[in-house]
Amino acid sequence: MAPIIRSSPAFAFLVFQISLIFSAFTLPYSSGSEDSYTITGRVNIPPSNVIGHTAKFSNVKVILNGGQSVTFLRPDGYFTFHKVPAGTHLIEVSAMGYFFSPVRVDVSARHHGKVHATLTETRRSLTELVLEPLREEQYYEIREPFSILSIVKSPMGLMVGFMVVVVFLMPKLMENIDPEEMKQAQEEMRRQGVPSLSSLLPSAGASR
Amino acid sequence: MAMAIRVCLLLLVFLSSAIVSFSLYEDQVGLMDWHQRYIGKVKHAVFHTQKTGRKRVIVSTEENVVASLDLRHGEIFWRHVLGTKDAIDGVDIALGKYVITLSSQGSMLRAWNLPDGQMVWETSLHSAQSSKSLLSVPINLKADKDYPILVFGGGYLHAVSAIDGEVLWKKDFTAEGFEVQRVLQPPESSVIYVLGFLHSSEAVVYQIDSKTGEVVAQKSMVFPGGFSGEISSVSSDKVVVLDSTRSILVTIGFLDGDISFHKTPISDLVEDSGNAEILSPLLSDMLAVKVSKRTMFVRVGGEGKLEVVDSLSDETAMSDSLPVADDQVAFASVHHEGSKIHLMVKLVDDLDTVLLRESIQMDQHRGRVHKVFINNYIKTDRSNGFRALIVMEDHSLLLLQQGAIVWSREEGLASVTDVTTAELPVEKDGVSVAKVEHTLVDWLKGHVLKLKGSLLLASPEDVAAIQEMRMQSSGRSKLTRDHNGFRKLFIALTRAGKLFALHTGDGRIVWSMLLNSPSKSEACERPSGISLYQWQVPHHHAMDENPSVLVVGRCGSDSSAPGVLSLVDVYTGKEISSSDIGHSVVQVMPLPFTDSTEQRLHLIADTEGHVHLYPKTSEALSIFQREFQNVYWYTVEGDDGIIRGHAMKSSCAGETADEYCFTTRELWTVVFPSESEKIISTLTRKPNEVVHTQAKVSTDQDVLYKYVSRNLLFVATVSPKGAGEIGSVTPEESALVVYLIDTITGRILHRLSHQGCQGPVHAVFSENWVVYHYFNLRAHKYEVTVVEIYDQSRAENKNVWKLVLGKHNLTAPISSYSRPEMFTKSQSYFFAQSVKTIAVTSTAKGITSKQLLIGTIGDQILALDKRFVDPRRTLNPSQAEKEEGIIPLTDSLPIIPQSYITHSLKVEGLRGIVTAPAKLESTTHVFAYGVDLFYTRLAPSKTYDSLTDDFSYALLLITIVALVAAIYITWVISEKRELSEKWR
């Protein structure tokens, strides 16, 4: 693989950066004593459109083995765990607004503290210990924007709707009925003495 | 018609099976919840008061918090909670822009950006052994020159660059067994003096080049008496120590590398010689010594001569010395006198010159002054002004300035150890405090605003107005009981031995009190509180009695130390009585009996195997005698892996015994093999939990009877190798075994083993189920397992004919001795986070479905519906099962961000979650404590029994008006029509 490098300083710098990250990761870290190593990694939070995540790095914690040790991020996003024995460990990232998968980290004693990392949620193996959030977390329910439908759906809306149906559709239905039948029905009603709507209201009675 | 019923039923099923998550709108924050941020008891404080910019004080605390506080108001600018094993040893400011913290016994050095708290660098220092640690940050005179930070810890002396944390050099002292006591960096000098003791009998002074770390010179001298370790450095070339007998003060001069001793017996200084103690403050050319409760100021003369210049009789707290103008050095001392404290700032050279003398009224319940930190500022008339930051016995932090308390922080609440709930007083008739909205117009306006808010038409000002209105209208901070039981008190006991009553409405402190020892003896000045119990909860008779809580304390940290009982009135916060009980406290057991005044009977077990009955009244005794044979309890000996069951035997014999003391007999023991199993967690059900239904009807008309017993103990054991941290063990070596043990008979009812798993185990036990969280080493993921216990013996009662003919055993008495026929169902799921604690919601009648409250490693609390941890979940539930609300089985439990009940807040350092039922069945109180406090009200199945707060009354009103208008219009129309018809 030979990428064509147009001699752009920025690009070269980027490559340099990447190689730095890579070397930082792959280089064996064995300090002083035989069986304790250092895990170095980086947390990368992609720039988000959600407002309020500007001071993001200062409130991120990186937790080893469920609280055995806790560390914080440097301004460039790097974190380090010191004096970690060889074995299989678990790294978790606690950052408000993001969900990070816990990372299984194997520190090999045979390869002088070479680190192998796997995301436990997706079972994806990481070539370098750069942790990225699986997803953003929205802690609040988002209010649905104002819509006629939401009003109509509410109990009161249903009530009004029902009334509208009765007021405007019922006469229509009445019209559809044969006028003679209608008259018959009305006469029947009168005979039975069922009061009409107007006579129901006392004021209507008075006005008569 | 049948169709309509079917639709209705379907709708019901749909409603009941819809998963209700907690979910909150952003503008509802603070409506039902409150959050308080604390830091803990301050250990070190460094002022940062430049002429420009905000004035701050940087503090480190016993809760492993480093924080920057606003000096004007006491608010937190930023704060970091370090890991639990990362205790802070020292804090200072370097280069005027970095906060340097030394933690983990001098092996971790971090720099934080002063304005925003961003970590700048972190350096792990090499350490070989545990030792005391020292942090020495040079005072930068010239900003361009980088003086190294000197750190001693773990046998090594490191010089670290303040700019990037690079270790410049290190010096190994481990081989010699050398204990560094003081590192002195004379200004404008390239030589560092390192003074220490070798085997605490030989004083050694190294002169080290500050650039390279090479030893320039080394001198040592043996002191025949040996040192006691306490040291006070009085000037740049002199220190004072006590010898091993604590009766001679030794002045060690190490001018230019030569060591000289100068002995002064304490009896020469004062008549009543006793064991002396050097107090910690750093005073220049001066020494504070405490001899038999008197604090003496001893001036160190030119040739190491000591003379007493002043003495104070009272217990006095002192600050370090502080350079003030004109090469003078001042220090502050604070002492108590009655209900006042006196703050004095004096010059070290001339103790008669009092720069400042202030008396401040102080709350009795704050106790004594523990620490003083002072800072000076230049007043407008160019004289020196002083401000003092004081730490009180109850851990509170106060800033004193110009004779007044500028601000105070109740930092005791950062170390809550136990919590219980209490009711507020009933509202008296005629003294109605309820304030209804002023006029109808205001009321309408308010609701129109609310309507606008809910329709997203509100402007930011409107939103603020709505919030304010909601806060006021609900009357949530009133001090009386409400109809729904939303207003309650949470009584919290803190590590300092102080009780706080917090109001659920707004989280304010209703009252607080510091526990007093009844005896006032030397040994037990302040008992440390262990636990809290509800002593008296009047509800039926004895309504006129105030409820009270029982605080069980201990004189000293040892478990065999004598106990102290204290009864505190919940309404007033006054101590009703307190007594030395004269025996130790191992276990406190509230009994399910109360006397005629609703005082609950308690049994307290001591170390000698006796139990004592409280309250010590004849009535309580007679109640207890009746139930004498039915009292059982168990003890867990975690180290030996033994669980024992006990029962009552007889009254105590012997001279000292009274009639309230009883001996016990051992009924059963369960011994776990120590080579393969170690107890890591035990748990029982909450004694006051209410279970509504004993049976569970499944879809195929099958009935499952819950095995609901108060005498079940959940025990989790793990292989000894797997008891450590994750990563210390391979899957083959570790196994987790859980047991369900009947605590009356000692019978093991159920045993479940998880191969390749390890702790820590966090469990919750409710009704007939246990849910526990542990680590699966094979999958390298956390797992949650649910175990549900059902009663087999009652399972035959399904047949209706048997019920009709009376051939059922439902009315048969249930005995705790009988061997229960039970079966269990269990299921496991993955869970994507570490867990700190788990709790479960509790409601008044137990009808509402339950939610698990999971305190995650990120200090958030996740509400997880119990239906997610139901062993009846299958991959493809049938239609009937779906209608019943069974969720299809997934391999991991979902983490829905909207169901974090802490929404976008964190309960830093979360330690526990307490739930308490409200009177309204749908609602439960949740209180979480750690370094922070958080409270909210939860409705696990939504508030089905009341209208929500954001119910739009305005919309209802508008609808009614619209309906009335419509009726009127239709009436008019019909009238016209009728008329026209008549004309026709």
**ipTM for the assembly:** 0.82
Cα(B19)–Cα(B866) distance, integer angstroms: 11
Residues whose CB falls within 8 Å of the CB of residue B643, separated by 6 or more in sequence, listed in order: B634, B635, B636, B637, B669, B670, B679, B682, B713, B715, B741, B746
List pLDDT tens digits, range B855-890. Answer: 999 899 999 999 899 988 888 888 888 878 888 999
Q: What is the pLDDT of residue B430?
A: 41
Q: What number is the average pLDDT over the span B14-39? A: 70
Question: How does residue B814 score in pLDDT terms, banded at 50, 70 and 90?
Answer: low
Residue A207: is its pLDDT beyond 60? Answer: no
Give, in order, the Cα–Cα distances in Å from B837 to each of B218, B686, B929.
Answer: 54, 15, 11
3-state helix, strand, coil in chain A (%, to 5): 35, 25, 40
Task: With CB atoms and an 8 Å threshold, state whether B457 touches A146.
Answer: yes
Q: What is the pLDDT of residue B188?
A: 67
Q: What is the pLDDT of residue B21?
A: 53
Residue A148: CB atoms within 10 A of its CB come to 8
Task: With CB atoms and an 8 Å threshold, state whether B728 touches A87.
Answer: yes
Q: What number is the average pLDDT over the span B1-26? A: 49
Strands of B596-660, DSSP E: 600-605, 610-614, 632-637, 642-651
Task: Give how far the C-alpha of residue B903 lies from the chain's centroid of Cα atoms, to the nearest Å.
Answer: 20
List pLDDT tens digits, range B556-570. Answer: 777 778 888 888 888
Higher pLDDT, residue B223 or B915: B915
Q: What is the pLDDT of residue A19?
A: 37
Task: With CB atoms and an 8 Å threshold, state whether B83 touches A201.
Answer: no
Q: Find chain B residues with C-beta within 8 A of A92's C-beta.
A: 833-834, 857-858
Q: What is the pLDDT of residue A50?
A: 52
Q: What number is the average pLDDT over the span B359-369? A: 85
DSSP-H helix ranges across chain A? 9-26, 148-153, 155-164, 170-176, 179-192, 197-200, 202-207
Residue B696: is its pLDDT beyond 90? Answer: no
Residues whose CB falls within 8 Å of the CB of residue A28, separated by 6 or more in sequence, listed in order: A111, A112, A113, A114
Q: Which of B96-105, B107-116, B450-459, B925-934 has the highest mean pLDDT?
A: B925-934
User: If DSSP states are collapsed to H, E and C, what string results for B250-318?
Assistant: EEEECHHHCCEEEEEEHHHHCCCCCCEEECCCCECCEEEEEECCEEEEEEECCCCCEEEEEEECCCEEE
DSSP string, B411-456: GGGGGEEEEEEEPPPPPPTT-------S-HHHHHHHHHHHHHHHTT
Task: Specify the DSSP class assigned to residue B944.
Answer: T
Mutate to test the interface with B, among A100, A140, A151 (most CBs of B within 10 A): A140
Give, in order, the Cα–Cα distances in Å from B257 to each of A47, B172, B573.
Answer: 58, 20, 61
Residue B935: is its pLDDT beyond 90? Answer: yes
Task: Give how far the C-alpha of residue B691 lies from the chain's centroid of Cα atoms, to the nearest Å.
Answer: 29
Task: With CB atoms and an 8 Å threshold, state whether B895 touches A99.
Answer: yes
Q: What is the pLDDT of residue B930?
A: 92
Task: Specify the DSSP class assigned to residue B900.
Answer: B
* Distance between A194 CA and the closest CA of chain B, angstroms: 16
Question: How does residue B765 score in pLDDT terms, banded at 50, 70 and 90?
Answer: very high
Cα(B414)–Cα(B65) distance, integer angstroms: 10
Q: What is the pLDDT of residue B884?
A: 80
CA angle B532, B816, B534 (to 5 degrees): 15
Q: What is the pLDDT of residue B125?
A: 86
| Bridge partner list, A69 | A64
Q: Which two tokens stand for residue A132?
A: 């990225």
Q: Which of B780, B858, B892 sits opposite A90 (nearest CB)?
A: B780
Question: Residues B394, B42: contact at Cβ < 8 Å?
Answer: no
Residue B714: is its pLDDT beyond 90? Answer: yes
Residue B711: is its pLDDT beyond 90? Answer: no
Residue B842: is its pLDDT beyond 50? Answer: yes
Question: How does residue B272 score in pLDDT terms, banded at 50, 70 and 90?
Answer: low
Q: Find chain A residues with C-beta within 8 A of B966's C-beta.
A: 163, 167
Q: What is the pLDDT of residue B752?
A: 92
Residue B550: is its pLDDT beyond 80? Answer: yes
Q: Which of B118, B832, B974 sits opposite A57 (nearest CB)?
A: B118
Q: Buried b vs exposed e over B200-229: b needs ≥16 C-beta within 10 Å?
A: bebbbbbbbebeebeeeeeeeeebeeebbe
List pLDDT tens digits, range A134-182. Answer: 888 888 887 766 667 766 777 777 877 887 787 778 777 777 777 787 7
Q: Which of A57, A74, A138 sits opposite B897 (nearest CB)?
A: A138
Cα(B70)–Cα(B37) distance, integer angstroms: 14
| For B29, nearest residue in chain A (alpha carbons) | A140
* Distance between A152 CA and the closest CA of chain B, angstroms: 12
Whether chain B has a CB inside 8 Å of the CB on A46: the answer is no
Q: What number is the average pLDDT over the span B539-551? A: 76
Task: With CB atoms and an 8 Å threshold, state whether A63 touches B857.
Answer: yes
Cα(B560)–Cα(B663) distance, integer angstroms: 18
Cα(B250)–Cα(B306) distance, integer angstroms: 10
List pLDDT tens digits, range B202-253. Answer: 788 888 887 888 888 788 778 777 777 667 776 767 778 877 777 777 887 7
| For A154, nearest residue in chain B (alpha carbons) | B955
Q: Which of B97-111, B141-155, B275-289, B785-799 has the highest mean pLDDT?
A: B97-111
Residue B548, SS3? strand
List pLDDT tens digits, range B628-676. Answer: 888 888 999 888 889 999 988 888 776 666 788 888 889 999 999 988 8
* Distance between B450 CA and the closest CA of chain A, angstroms: 14
Cα(A192)–Cα(B692) distance, integer angstroms: 55
Q: Which of A100-114, B65-79, B375-389 has the highest mean pLDDT?
A: B65-79
Mutate to test the interface with B, among A123, A156, A160, A201 (most CBs of B within 10 A): A156
List pLDDT tens digits, range B574-601. Answer: 888 888 887 888 888 888 888 888 888 8
Q: What is the pLDDT of residue B262?
A: 78
Whether chain B has a CB inside 8 Å of the CB on A57: the answer is yes
| For A37, nearest residue in chain B (alpha carbons) | B124
Pairs across A and B, CB distance < 8 A = 161
Question: How does residue B16 score in pLDDT terms, banded at 50, 70 and 90?
Answer: very low
C-alpha torsion A101→A107→A112→A115, nearest 10: -20
C-alpha torsion B899→B903→B905→B908, nearest 10: -10
**Residue B976, burial from CB neighbour count under 10 angstroms (0-12, 13-18, 19+):** exposed
Task: With CB atoms and an 8 Å threshold, state whether A38 touches B124.
Answer: yes
Q: What is the pLDDT of residue B565?
A: 87
Query: Average pLDDT, whole number, for chain B?
Result: 81
Q: Find chain A residues with C-beta within 8 A of B898's C-beta.
A: 138-141
Cα(B933)–Cα(B33) distance, integer angstroms: 11
Q: What is the pLDDT of residue B803?
A: 59
Higher pLDDT, residue B943 or A35: B943
| For A146, nearest residue in chain B (alpha carbons) | B455
| Bridge partner list, B632 | B647
| For B968, nearest residue in chain A (alpha carbons) | A201
Task: With CB atoms and an 8 Å threshold, state whether B23 touches A97.
Answer: no
Task: With CB atoms and an 8 Å threshold, state whether A156 touches B118.
Answer: no
Mutate to test the interface with A, among B112, B857, B952, B953 (most CBs of A within 10 A): B857
Q: Find chain B residues with C-beta within 8 A of A205's C-beta.
A: none
Task: With CB atoms and an 8 Å threshold, state whether A140 touches B904.
Answer: yes
Q: What is the pLDDT of residue B304?
A: 65
Q: What is the pLDDT of residue B65?
A: 92
Q: What is the pLDDT of residue A18?
A: 38
* Distance between B449 CA and the closest CA of chain A, angstroms: 15
Q: What is the pLDDT of residue B140?
A: 57
Task: Give how far the C-alpha of residue A133 lies from the chain's centroid of Cα atoms, to the nearest Å.
Answer: 11
Task: With CB atoms and an 8 Å threshold, state whether B775 touches A69.
Answer: no
Mutate to test the interface with A, among B125, B728, B777, B953 (most CBs of A within 10 A): B728
Cα(B563)–Cα(B662) distance, integer angstroms: 17
Question: How does residue B39 score in pLDDT terms, banded at 50, 70 and 90?
Answer: very high
List, as ranges, residues 157-176 from A with C-beta within 8 Å of B: 159-160, 163, 167
Higher pLDDT, residue B526 or B887: B887
Q: What number is the average pLDDT over the span B430-449? A: 58
Whether chain B has a CB inside 8 Å of the CB on A51: the answer is no
Q: At what angle do helices B953-983 and A155-164 cross, to 10 degrees?
A: 10
Q: What is the pLDDT of residue B816?
A: 66
Question: Residues B181, B132: contact at Cβ < 8 Å?
Answer: no
Higher pLDDT, residue B398 or B145: B398
Q: Find chain A residues with C-beta within 8 A of B455's C-beta.
A: 146, 150-151
Q: Which of B27, B108, B832 sits opposite A102 (nearest CB)?
A: B832
Give, in order, the Cα–Cα distances in Å from B308 to each of B241, B344, B351.
Answer: 16, 19, 11
User: Computed over its alpha carbons, how large is the radius of gyration of chain A?
Assistant: 37
Cα(B937)–Cα(B915) distance, integer angstroms: 9
Q: What is the pLDDT of residue B380?
A: 79
| For A163, nearest residue in chain B (alpha carbons) | B963
List pLDDT tens digits, range B139-188. Answer: 655 555 667 888 888 788 888 888 888 888 888 877 777 777 777 777 66
Q: What number is the average pLDDT over the span B501-509? A: 89
Whether chain B has a CB inside 8 Å of the CB on A130: the answer is no
Q: What is the pLDDT of residue A54?
A: 47
pTM of the model: 0.84
Residue B296: is its pLDDT beyond 80? Answer: no
Whether chain B has a CB inside 8 Å of the CB on A133: the answer is no
DSSP-H helix ranges across B641-744? none
CA angle B457, B460, B463 (to 5 degrees): 75
